[in-house]
Amino acid sequence: MSKRKVERLNLLKFMPFRFNRLAAEFSNALAAEYMARFGIDIPEWRVLATLGLRDEPRSAQYVVRCTRTHKSRVSRAVGSLVTLGYVARAEAADDRREVMLELTPKGRAVYGELVPLLLKREEAILSCLTPDERAQLNHLMDKLERSFDLVQCGE
């Protein structure tokens, strides 16, 4: 019985690795530049982005579900944002356990300033792809997200 040849794995071709590496690059490209300026980090930004999408109060739990971020992380991020005066906490009328979150005017201002910068940065990163390729990327991400049972983009 001869020894079977070892199966090799090229890390650089291994999708989980490639995704992690690329995701880290995306984060660096964004966080480094703009977020430090407003005293916020990625978890804070996720809360901000979730609250900024609609002008309605949202519960912390909603943010958790939306962003797949651990609730302790969300809780702490909300704490920072409240301290910074970007977010206001309020009790929910119907369920007094829930903490309803809303952007303050100051928070909305930061959001309004941050969004164009981040979108521009995203644009710069994706500019290496043709329009067709971008559509492909969207489609592939959709399928992968669906297969992981991640919350999809509604509209």
Dist. CA 43–CA 74, nearest whole Å: 7
8 A C-beta contact, residue 110 and residue 101: no
At closest approach, how far in Å is the CB of 50 from DNA? 12
What's the residue count for the chain? Answer: 155
Owner of token pair 């997200």: 145
89 binds DNA (CB under 7 A): yes
Coil/strand/helix, residue 147? helix
**Residues contacting a copy of itself: total by CB under 8 A:** 62
36 binds a copy of itself (CB under 8 A): no
- Strands of the 87-91 sheet, one edge to the other: 58-59, 99-103, 87-91
Beta-carbon count within 10 A of 26 CB: 13
70 binds DNA (CB under 7 A): yes
Site for a copy of itself in 116-155 (CB under 8 A): 116, 118-119, 122, 125-126, 128-129, 133, 136-137, 139-141, 143-148, 150-155
Q: Could you list the residues that contact a copy of itself (CB under 8 A)? A: 6-27, 29-30, 46, 49-50, 52-53, 66-68, 108, 111-112, 115-116, 118-119, 122, 125-126, 128-129, 133, 136-137, 139-141, 143-148, 150-155
